[in-house]
Every structure is written in structure tokens, then in C-alpha cells.
Amino acid sequence: MKLDKYLIVMIIMMLNSYLTYSYTAEEIIGKVKENLEKIEKFEADISINIELENVNVPERRGKIFFQKPDSTRYEIEGFSMMPKAGMGNYIAELLNLEATLINSGEELINGNSTIIIKIIPNDNKSDVVLSTLWIDKMDYTVIKSEITTKNNGTFEVESEYQLFENKYYLPISSIISFQVPKYKMPKAFTGDTRKQKEDKNPKSNTSRGKVNIKYNNYIIN
Amino acid sequence: MGINSVVKITNLVKEFKNIRAVDNLSLDIEKGVLFGFLGPNGAGKSTTIRIILSLIRASSGKIELFGNEINHRNRAVFKRIGALVERPDFYNYLSAEKNLEIFGRMSGADSSKKNLYKYLDLVGLGGREKDKVKTYSMGMKQRLGIAQAIIHNPDLLILDEPTNGLDPMGMKEIRDLLIDLVENQGKTVFISSHILKEVESMATDVAIINKGRTIVEGKVDELLSSTKMKVIFKFEDNNNVKNIIKNTVWEQVYEESNLNMNTFNISKDSIPELVNFLSEKGAKISSVVPMNTLENYFIQVTGAEND
Amino acid sequence: MIELVKIELFKIFSKWRTYTGFIAIGALILIIQLVLGVEGQGFIDAAIGMLKNNFDFQGDLLNAYMINRIILQTLIVWVPFLITLVAGDMLAGEATMGTYRLLLIRPASRFKVISAKFISGLIYTLTFVMWIMLLSLGLGMLNFGTGDMLVVGNEILIIPEDDVFWRYMYGYAIAALSMFVVFTIAFTFSAFVQNSLGPIFSTMGLVIGFSILNIFSTGILEYINPLLFTTYTNSWKLMFEVPIDMKEIYIAISVLLAHIVVLTAITFNYFIKKDIVS
């Protein structure tokens, strides 16, 4: 009995030491790239839901087509608004930049243990100023990213992944969030003399926008 | 009400603010007559006609048409009435044919082109059917007014100044038409007019009104009979007359009137005899007016009213 | 009654002034369509351009649905003028022409005569609104096609293409109802006077005056505005909200109908009893 107890404790300690083994930032990013490299092409059904203050657009459905290395194409019904940032192959593009990588510790996100890697591009001309990736320690998927750019401000992406065909990690949902200027249209322009909708945060000129994307029916490679 | 009564007016009153335009007027018009409705300006003729036609509501009194009291809800009786009130005003932007069609259809008339043209021809507008009414003269509009009044073959025709604006030939045509309607088609015609000679030449019955009341009413023949006519005597002192004729043969033919008129129903030949008698008795005669024309009636009756 | 309505419609459509409105509105619609066909993208950019920082747009919003909304929004201010031209003349015109004396001596009761006039006037108004719909939406669909609809108001709204047409049908119905009120007001004024200019100017004065009051919503006006018919002239826009506020629509319809009922009752009662002295 005592032996069993000792065995269990040893196994836990070994497991813990394995899990807390300090990979370098480069090694972690390398594992992320490995995951991405596996996928030659895929297509999937997507649905896009936009949540933006004073903007009401319907859910859009369509398809996404990806072809390695960096070709991403969308076919969406009707009029659609596609977020400029956080879509398609943005992680791969980010990881291909010449940058300084910094291991910034760990964090638990949605029950997943993640390693935080900061990426600072070496090229001053790069649009990306600073990126932070929260990488799942188990499968090296990028659960969360926060990217600050010169042209598109700062955006965050939180993604949920699923393993397909036992080797491909692909997102099944992503939430892209960012700051946008608050939409206001003068009454005279609209001819609408009714009361304006209540401003939830009247002191601020910006509001938080969110885009929810769901992926399903993947066809891979 | 007589069996043959087409229009019966009983104690009709109409007040406009402080003006009593019709003051207890009563009339009885029989079927098959051409009735002349006379009176000076402002006598109440037009108001009476408008009340008969429901253009105006009476303040009190009763009007019966074809034996039925007029009812603003039940208007079926108006299918039997055709009328023209004052000026003949039409939709000037439409042709005569279209105007006639509109009013004809509203009265239930046959609005086929054939029938419309027949009536336009009857009133002398043949060849001008398609012309817009705004191009019509007053006389032509008057003719069109007559046409819209008769197109649905009414039993009663009410016409206000029917020959207004017509030349002598036109007047004769309309006169002949109206006489034909009465004599040969059994219609009843009620006309209001200022042209007394016109009325005298075609009316069978007449009423003279003034200040909203009937002053004289009766058959034209009887009123203007030369064998027995009304002769009006005016004296310097009207009150003495009754005493003078008391217990004489002249008392029997004397007609009391509430207009300070001394009326005697005598033949034309008896006038000199009566004049001599009254003069001998000391009556100072200021005028003798035999009522042998409507004009005389009109002037005397309305003049006395205004005294 | 049908016969009387036919006669009244014939009278309305025999006048040149009736066609003034149709021609004027037709020309305006064609001009607006032409301008928007050329400059419409600029309007869209102005409306949603600020989103371009964060979004790429795919698809075309310049279509008949968007253009029709702008047309309706623009014209709804002017349509009352054109309706009063006819409505104000319907009864006053008979007095001016002197035709009451021939019209009201017929077997038809005054109630039937005025009912026929009222119904024919409503038909005219409805025809007018349908004319706008035919040119604006119908011709627009031929020229610009259909697609998702951009609604620019208190918020930017995109309505999916297959969800738009039925909204326009109800929207036009509500627009017609608000124009019925304008017609009824002019018709009422027309009953009381001998000349059509009075009703035309009075009705337009009312439309303009009330519209000005609608801009202010403080003090006593907060209580008065919900009772004014001009408050609901733009109620057709309620059909282009997501979700649709049915309560507001019911209120709009109720107030507009109440105006029509009350004014009609006043007009009929007066007309039936009035003495025709001219």
C-alpha cells in the first residue's frame, strides 16, 4: 500500500517536471509552426456574426478556402463585412516575421494551461508592432493572441481548436475583438427625428467590436 | 292632399340667421299643370325651390312630393324629378356629352351615346356634343341645363328661369318643349321666372309670392278671365269703401284682402258702372287696375305688400 | 355607390392638375435614381466608411432596395403637397363651379355622394403611392437589381435580401395610410369653403407646422407630439428595423386611423346638413 502511494506521487512529480520543462520561446514557436505546416489546404463552411455598437448586420454564411502557403479566399452570400485582422493565415504570417521572441510565463485560459510568448518584429517597417501569443502547452495551438499594429490598432483573437484526422489542429471557432470608432449619424442625414438609442458609454468615442466565426465541415488536404 | 297633388307645401318656414326668407308659405301643385312661380327679387322663390329639392333644410313646415313627405334619407322620389336651379353650372373641363352622361347616370337615365345625343339634339345642341362646356355661351349652357333635367324622363320638372340667356327663337323652342311635356306627356312643370309674359303664355297655374308668403294662387285662366276678373280699386280713403257698398249688389262681388286692396270680381264691361256708382257715393278713386295680365297682378300685389 | 365612385374617379382623372403630381413625382424619382446610380456609392461610403478601418467589404449595397429607401425618405415630405392639390378641390371645387346644385338634386343621398367622393379620393391617393412604388421599387429593381439592404438610421443595419421585399409592401401600406390622413384633412377643409386654395394652403400649413413641432420634444410638446399625425409620417421606416417594434407600428396605425375616423365623421356630418345657398 505504501509502495503504491509512493509510486503515484513519483509519477505526478515526473509528469509535473516534464510539463514545466522550460522550452525556449523559439522551440515553442517551432512547434506551433510544425502544426501549421501540416496543412496543405482546406475548405470549410463558416458563419460570421458581427457584434458592434450601433451596427446590426445579419449572420453571414459561406465558405473559406485555404491553400498553402498564404492563399485564403472566402465565398460569402450577399454583402459581408470581413474583419481585416485576425482572419485567415495571420498566425503563420506573424511567425514568419524576423522577430525577437520572449517567453513571458504561463497563464490558465479557459482551463487550458498556456505559455505566453511575446513577438517583437525586428523590422521597424513591419505593420506589426508587438504580438502576444497564448500557446496551449498540450497541443501548441494558439488559443489567444493579441496583436498591435500600426494601421489597424490592436486586436485580440481567441480560438477553439479541434483535432482532425488525428493530425490536424484547426479552429472551430474564433472570436476577434478590437476597438472601433463609435458610429453616429446626424438626424438630418437620416431624416429620423425619433429618439436616438441610448449610448451605453457616452464618455468614450470608441466601442468594442467583436466578430464570432464558426468553422465546420472541414475538408482537409 | 289632392289625389293629383304632385307638390304640396304646407306652412313652410326658412330662417337664415335674422332673416325669414320663407314665411309660412303654402302651395298645392296638381299633376299635369305648368305652374308659374312668380315673385320679386328676394321673395323667397329660389329658397323655396331649393328646399323642395333638398338643397336647403326647412326651419319648419312640410313638403310632400307625389304624396310622400320628403326624407333626406329616402331619395327615391328624386328619380321622378328633374331640375335646374338658377345658373346652369357644369364641369367646364368636360364636354356637354360627358356632363350630360354624368348627371344622367346619377339619375338612372339611359346613358348610351344614342340617348345622350337625342336629348342634346332636342335642346338644340346637336353638333356641339363633344365641345367642352367652357366654350359654350350662356344660352347653350341653359339648353344643356334643360337637357340634364329631362334626360331621365322625370314626372316633375322644376326650372328656375328656364329661358334665361336664350334668344327669342330659343325661348320659343323651350316654351314649346315645356308645353309639349305637359300637354302630350302628362308631366308637371314648375317654373320660376321674371318674364311674366313668358309665364302667362304657357302657365296653366300660377302663384305669386312676396316676402316668403303666397299672395295670389290660382288658375291663370280664372285669374285673367275677362268675363270675371279681379279689378283693384284704390281710394284716397280706403276705409269708406265697405260702408259705401253695404247692402248693394257690389258687396257680393267685393273681395276682402289683407293688403289694403279693394278687389271686385266683375266683368270688364261692369267696370264703368262700378266707377260711376262709387263716384256718385263720394268715393274718391285714385286708380282702377283690371287684373287682366300677370304683370298687373304682379305689380299690384307686390306693390301693395311693400306699402 | 360603385356607379358614383366611378363618376367621381372619372372627374378626378379628367383634370390636368391630377396628373401634375404624377408627372412631378415621376420626374423626381427618375432624377434621384440617376443621381444615386452615379453617386450612390459615395453615399454608402459616407454612411459606413468609418468601418473600413476594421473591415473589408464584399458584395454590393448599391441596389434598388437601398435607393428606394432614400427616394421614399426624400419624397414623403413633398407627396402631401401633391395630394392636397386634388383633395382640396374635391368639395370646394364643386362649390366654385356651382355644380352642387346639379349634383345634390339626384336620387343619391348626400351621404352616398360624399362617401363616393371620399372613397374615390382615397383611391386616387393609393394610386399615387402605388405610382411611387412602381417607379421607385419596380423600375429600380429593373435598373439596379436587388441585394442586401443598407439602412442608415440610428444604427447601420443590413437586412438580408430575402427579408426586404415584404417589408417594403407593409412599409408602403403604412406610407399610404399616412397620406390618407393628409387627404382626409384637405378633404375636410374642402367641405367648409367655396374655393380650393384655402384647403390646399391650410393643409400644407398644418403639415409644415406640425413637422416643426415634431423637432422639439420638451415640455408640453412631449405630450402633444404623439397625437400629431406628422409624428407618424415616417412610420413606414419602422418596417426596416430588426427586430420590428410591433407596438410602435400599432400605435402609429391607431393614431392615423383615429385621425381619419374623426375627421371623416366631422366632414360627413357637416356636409349632410349644410345648406347649399350658392
CATH of the domain at A112: 2.50.20.10
Total structural domains within chain A: 1
CA of C188, closest CA in chain B: separation in Å? Answer: 20
The per-residue pLDDT for range A52-104, each reduced to its tens digit, is: 888 889 999 999 999 888 888 889 988 888 888 888 778 888 888 888 888 88
The residues, ordered by sequence, that sit 6+ positions from A158 with a Cβ below 8 Å of its Cβ are A109, A143, A144, A174, A175, A177
Q: Which residues of A touch C161 (CB under 8 A)?
A: 78
CA of C92, closest CA in chain B: separation in Å? Answer: 13
CA of B53, closest CA in chain C: separation in Å? Answer: 6
Report ipTM for this prediction: 0.86
Given strand A41-51, what is the order of strands in its sheet?
A71-76, A60-67, A41-51, A206-220, A168-181, A154-164, A142-149, A128-136, A112-121, A99-109
Confidence of residue A181 (pLDDT cuts 50, 70, 90): confident
Q: Which residues of B touch C103 (CB under 8 A)?
A: 103, 106
The per-residue pLDDT for range C60-82, each reduced to its tens digit, is: 889 999 999 999 988 888 899 99
In the chain, the amino acid numbered A93 is E
> Contact A85/C54, CB-based, under 8 Å?
yes
- pLDDT (average), residues C96-119: 94
Which residues does residue B304 pair with via DSSP β-bridges, in sequence order?
Answer: none
| Nearest neighbour of C47 by CB, restricted to A81, A185, A191 | A185
Nearest-CA neighbor of B158 among B67, B77, B72, B57?
A: B77
Q: Do chains A and B touch (3 or more CB pairs under 8 A)?
A: no
What is the pLDDT, as a whole number, of residue B164?
79
- pLDDT (average), residues C185-208: 94
> Contact A76/C55, CB-based, under 8 Å?
no
Q: Do chains C and A touch (3 or more CB pairs under 8 A)?
A: yes
What is the pLDDT, as a whole number, of residue A188?
46
Stated as kind and residue range, the H or E segment containing B229 is strand B229-235
Confidence of residue B245 (pLDDT cuts 50, 70, 90): confident
Indicate whether B284 pLDDT > 70. yes
Q: Which three three-digit cell numbers place residue B251?
A: 258687396
Indicate whether B129 pLDDT > 90. yes
CA of B60, closest CA in chain C: separation in Å? Answer: 14
Angle of CA points B40, B43, B44, to nearest 5° = 135
Q: Which residues of C touch A177 (CB under 8 A)?
A: none
Tell me whether residue A89 is in a domain: yes
| Nearest neighbour of B107 by CB, restricted to C106, C110, C275 | C106
The residues, ordered by sequence, that sit 6+ positions from A8 with a Cβ below 8 Å of its Cβ are none
Q: Decide if A161 contacts A99 (C-beta within 8 A).
A: no
Indicate whether A194 pLDDT > 60. no
Distances (CA, A) of C117 to C81, C86, C120, C190: 19, 11, 5, 12
What is the pLDDT, as a whole number, of residue B297?
73
Q: Which residues of C touch A153 (CB under 8 A)?
A: 53-54
| Nearest neighbour of A209 by CB, restricted to C54, C150, C156 | C54
User: Which of A141-150, B238-247, C103-112 bottoms out in mean pLDDT, i.e. has the lowest?
Assistant: B238-247
Top-ranked range on mean pLDDT: pick from A179-188, A195-204, B56-65: B56-65
> Contact C101/B90, CB-based, under 8 Å?
no
Indicate whether C189 pLDDT > 90. yes
What is the pLDDT, as a whole number, of residue A6?
63
> Contact C102/B75, CB-based, under 8 Å?
no
Q: Which three three-digit cell numbers place residue C211?
A: 413637422
- pLDDT (average), residues C186-200: 94
Domain enclosing residue A126, as ranges = 24-187+201-220
Please tell me which residue of chain B has the smallest CA distance to C112: B73
> Contact C102/B79, CB-based, under 8 Å?
no
> Contact C272/B72, CB-based, under 8 Å?
yes
With 0-12 / 13-18 / 19 or more C-beta atoms within 10 angstroms meaning exposed / middle / buried, residue C184 is buried
Chain C, window 55-74: residues with a beta carbon less than 8 angstroms from a chain A beta carbon: 55-61, 73
Q: Which residues of B touch C111 (CB under 8 A)?
A: 73
Q: Count Cβ–Cβ pairs < 8 Å, chain B vs chain C.
A: 79
What is the pLDDT, as a whole number, of residue B227?
58
- pLDDT (average), residues B144-158: 94
- pLDDT (average), residues C101-118: 95
Indicate whether A189 pLDDT > 50. no
Tell me whether residue A129 is in a domain: yes
> Contact B55/C273, CB-based, under 8 Å?
no
Q: Which three three-digit cell numbers place residue C221?
A: 410638446
Confidence of residue A183 (pLDDT cuts 50, 70, 90): low
User: Which of B110-114, B298-302, C221-225, C241-245 bottoms out in mean pLDDT, i.e. has the lowest?
Assistant: B298-302
Instruction: List all chains that touch chain C, counting a touch as 3 or more CB pairs closer than 8 Å.
Output: A, B
User: Which of A181-190, B198-207, C115-124, C221-230 bottoms out in mean pLDDT, i.e. has the lowest?
Assistant: A181-190
- pLDDT (average), residues C202-217: 91
What is the pLDDT, as a whole number, of residue A3?
62
Tell me whether residue A10 is in a domain: no
In the chain, the amino acid numbered A118 is K
Q: Count Cβ–Cβ pairs < 8 Å, chain A vs chain C.
A: 99
Tell me whether residue A128 is in a domain: yes
- pLDDT (average), residues A16-41: 78
Residue extents of the structural domains in chain C: 2-273
CB contact C237 to B (< 8 Å)? no
Distance, in Å, from the CA atom of C226 to the CA atom of C228, rounded to the nearest integer, reads 6
Secondary structure letter of residue A84 according to DSSP: S
What is the pLDDT, as a whole number, of residue C139?
93
Distances (CA, A) of C17 to C78, C83, C94, C188: 16, 10, 15, 19
CB contact C9 to B (< 8 Å)? no
Strands B34-38 and B205-210, by their bridges, are parallel
The per-residue pLDDT for range B69-110, each reduced to its tens digit, is: 887 667 889 999 999 998 899 999 999 999 999 999 999 999
Q: Residue B224, SS3? A: coil
Indicate whether B1 pLDDT > 50. no
> Contact C98/B87, CB-based, under 8 Å?
yes
Nearest-CA neighbor of B220 among B272, B295, B134, B162?
A: B295
| Nearest neighbour of C14 by CB, restricted to B78, B93, B148 | B93
Q: Which of the pair, B107 or A14, is modelled with greater confidence?
A: B107
> Contact A178/C54, CB-based, under 8 Å?
yes
Secondary structure of chain C in HEC code, one letter for each residue: CHHHHHHHHHHHCCCHHHHHHHHHHHHHHHHHHHHHHHHHHHHHHHHHHHHHHCEEEECCCCCHHHHHHHHHHHHCCCHHHHHHHHHCCCCHHHHHHCCHHHHCCCCCCHHHHHHHHHHHHHHHHHHHHHHHHHHHHHHHHHHHCCCCEEEECCCEEEECHHHCHHHHHHHHHHHHHHHHHHHHHHHHHHHHCCCCHHHHHHHHHHHHHHHHHHHCCCCCHHHHHHHCHHHHCCHHHHHHCCCCCHHHHHHHHHHHHHHHHHHHHHHHHHHHHCCCCC
CA of C61, closest CA in chain A: separation in Å? Answer: 7
How many C-beta atoms surround the C-beta of residue B61 within 10 A? 16
Q: Decide if A94 contacts A147 (C-beta within 8 A).
A: yes
CB contact B76 to C (< 8 Å)? yes
CA of B231, closest CA in chain C: separation in Å? Answer: 38
Indicate whether B112 pLDDT > 90. yes
| Nearest neighbour of C107 by CB, restricted to B87, B108, B148 | B108
CA of B177, closest CA in chain C: separation in Å? Answer: 21
Q: Which of the pair, B49 or B195, is modelled with greater confidence?
A: B49
How many C-beta atoms surround the C-beta of residue C122 within 10 A? 19
Tell me whether residue A196 is in a domain: no
List the domains of chain B with CATH numbers: 5-218 (3.40.50.300), 225-290 (3.30.70)
How long, in residues, is chain A? 221
Confidence of residue C90 (pLDDT cuts 50, 70, 90): very high
The per-residue pLDDT for range B9-24, each reduced to its tens digit, is: 999 999 988 889 999 9
What is the pLDDT, as a whole number, of residue A149?
87
The per-residue pLDDT for range B162-204, each reduced to its tens digit, is: 887 888 888 888 888 888 999 998 999 999 987 788 888 888 9
What is the pLDDT, as a whole number, of residue A184?
63
Q: Which residues of C touch B84 (CB under 8 A)?
A: 102
In the chain, the amino acid numbered C30 is L
